[in-house]
């Protein structure tokens, strides 16, 4: 009883902060893992004005929540969306999972974190539950694609995961990992994949194959190739460097090294394409 009351009080305080014009709050929510849900920290960024707003769940890459995550959230606010930055690493005792020696949590866990964030948004009175999207980067990109992938959703339901209808309305994968794992499956909601053609960590050719395969099965999937762009093209100020310690499935044994570099032109193009995509699928028409 006390726990339930505390949650209600916490939600009330959060709502008062937002209604009072505070656009950023740190919260926790329960993920969607059946029987043993985990508390997940998140940051909620709310645009000015009154709702109901469309919303986007943000899933970080192997580096964890970074200033880049918050920069995208603030940009989404400017576009009129509530943005929820999900922190999947902290509750699992991870600082990062990029290093070759660090193991990722089971795939179901990040999937359940995303669905839990969807449930959380459904409980927010100023969010339109019919217009919620998801964006993921690199490691998080495969999960942004999985939560709109038909077979992945069916497997989750078979595990007992309750997915609130109508689910995510659209998804964006930014230099996503795991394109090869979904190439034989099919997105059931609109999906945009944005990736640099020079990326040597998550290769554009692999994602292009997935996109072509899904489209051949009738999926609404689009690929945006960014000329000359590497991984982390959106990490403002990132100098070109090779991260020698990171795992890379494109190299023998999955080890090691990947090139990263900020690319202002690529970021501008990506934002324009993502704004148009989310605007078409999530804004009221």
> Would you tell me how many other CB atoms lie within 10 Å of the CB of residue 159?
12
Burial environment of residue 190 by CB neighbours within 10 A (0 to 12, 13 to 18, 19 or more) = buried
pLDDT (0 to 100) of residue 285:
54
**Could you give the CA distance from residue 135 to residue 56 in angstroms, rounded to a whole number?**
7
Check residues 252 and 84 and name the one with the higher pLDDT: 84
**Could you give the CA distance from residue 16 to residue 232 in angstroms, rounded to a whole number?**
36
6 pLDDT above the threshold of 50: no
Whether the model pTM is above 0.95: no
pLDDT (0 to 100) of residue 284:
61
Q: From start to end of the chain, where are the E strands?
A: 24-30, 39-45, 53-59, 82-86, 127-137, 170-174, 191-196, 221-226, 241-243, 258-260
pLDDT tens, residue by residue, 170-206: 999 999 999 999 999 999 999 999 999 999 999 999 9
Give the mean pLDDT of the chain.
Answer: 91
Rounded average pLDDT over 256-275: 96
51 pLDDT above the threshold of 60: yes
pLDDT (0 to 100) of residue 10:
46
pLDDT band for position 123 (50/70/90)? very high
Three-class secondary structure of residue 39 per DSSP:
strand
- Residue 10 host element (H or E): helix 2-19
Q: Which of 33-47, 91-105, 107-121, 150-164 has the lowest mean pLDDT?
A: 91-105
pLDDT band for position 103 (50/70/90)? confident
Query: How is residue 142 written in tokens?
Result: 């495969």
pLDDT (0 to 100) of residue 23:
85
pLDDT tens, residue by residue, 200-225: 999 999 999 999 999 999 999 999 99
Q: Which of 158-172, 241-255, 258-272 has the lowest mean pLDDT?
A: 241-255
pLDDT band for position 69 (50/70/90)? very high
Rounded average pLDDT over 79-104: 93
pLDDT band for position 256 (50/70/90)? confident
Rounded average pLDDT over 152-161: 98
Q: Name all domains of the chain by residue range, CATH numbers in brackets.
A: 22-234+264-282 (3.40.50.1820)
Of 236, 237, 253, 243, the closest CA to residue 199 belongs to 243
């Amino acid at each position: 009883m006390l726990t339930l009351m505390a949650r209600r009080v916490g939600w009330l305080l959060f709502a008062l902060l937002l209604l009072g014009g505070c656009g950023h709050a740190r919260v926790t929510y329960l993920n969607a893992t059946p029987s043993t849900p985990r508390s997940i920290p998140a940051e909620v960024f709310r645009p000015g004005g009154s709702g109901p707003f469309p919303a986007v769940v943000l899933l970080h890459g192997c580096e964890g929540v970074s200033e880049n995550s918050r920069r995208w959230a603030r940009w989404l606010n400017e576009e009129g969306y509530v943005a929820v930055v999900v922190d999947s690493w902290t509750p699992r005792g991870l600082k990062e999972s990029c290093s070759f020696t660090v193991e990722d949590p089971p795939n179901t866990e990040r999937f359940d974190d995303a669905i839990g964030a969807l449930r959380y948004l459904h409980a927010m009175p100023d969010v339109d539950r019919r217009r919620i999207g998801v964006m993921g980067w690199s490691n998080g990109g495969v999960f942004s694609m999985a939560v709109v992938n038909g077979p992945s959703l069916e497997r989750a339901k078979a595990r007992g995961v309750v997915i609130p209808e109508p689910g995510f309305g659209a998804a964006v994968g930014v230099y996503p990992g795991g394109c090869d794992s979904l190439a034989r499956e099919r997105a059931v909601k609109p999906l945009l994949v944005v990736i640099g053609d020079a990326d040597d960590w998550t290769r554009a050719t692999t994602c292009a194959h997935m996109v072509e395969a899904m489209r051949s099965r009738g999926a609404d999937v689009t690929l945006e190739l960014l000329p000359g762009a590497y991984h982390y093209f959106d990490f403002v100020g990132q100098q070109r460097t090779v991260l020698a310690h990171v795992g890379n499935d494109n190299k023998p044994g999955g080890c090691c090294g990947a090139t990263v570099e900020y690319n202002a032109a690529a970021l501008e193009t990506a934002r324009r394409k993502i704004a148009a995509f989310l605007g078409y699928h999530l804004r009221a028409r």
